[in-house]
């Protein structure tokens, strides 16, 4: 099967994630959309690894997963901290620097 199909699929998933980041107001859903974008990039890396016949793409995808795990931990802790002070998980309520 042509590996380009995987690349097109991952482009679609990345776009859906990016549109979700722009559309949604709930910070946790925005965060899940970022995870979707990271995973789409991972699919691209794995596909390129297969096209090139080397394992470097898989190694980079593995590092992306590790960094994403660290990012999720910190990001969710930040969201919880904001929720404690504002009683809201909406990104629109964090606008103190706007004025």
Q: Report in angstroms how near the CB of residue 75 gets to another protein at its nearest.
A: 9
- Of 77, 73, 74, 43, residue with least CA distance to 60: 43
Does residue 88 belong to the site contacting another protein (CB under 8 A)? yes
CB of 3 to another protein, least distance (A): 5
Decide if 46 contacts 58 (C-beta within 8 A): yes
Residues 9-38 that bind another protein (CB under 8 A): 9, 11-20, 22-26, 28-29, 31-33, 35-36
Q: Which residues between 58 and 87 bind another protein (CB under 8 A)? A: 58-59, 61-63, 65-74, 76-81, 83-84
Classify 26 as helix, strand or coil: strand
CA distance 95 to 50: 45
């Amino acid at each position: 099967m042509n590996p380009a199909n995987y690349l097109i699929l991952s482009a679609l998933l990345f776009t859906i994630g990016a549109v979700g980041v722009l559309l949604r107001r709930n910070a946790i859903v925005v965060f899940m959309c970022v995870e979707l974008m990271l995973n789409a990039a991972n699919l691209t890396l794995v596909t390129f690894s297969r096209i090139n016949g080397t394992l470097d793409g898989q190694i980079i995808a593995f590092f992306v997963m590790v960094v994403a795990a660290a990012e999720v931990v910190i990001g969710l802790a930040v969201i919880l901290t904001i929720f404690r002070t504002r009683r809201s998980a909406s990104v629109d309520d964090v606008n103190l620097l706007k004025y």
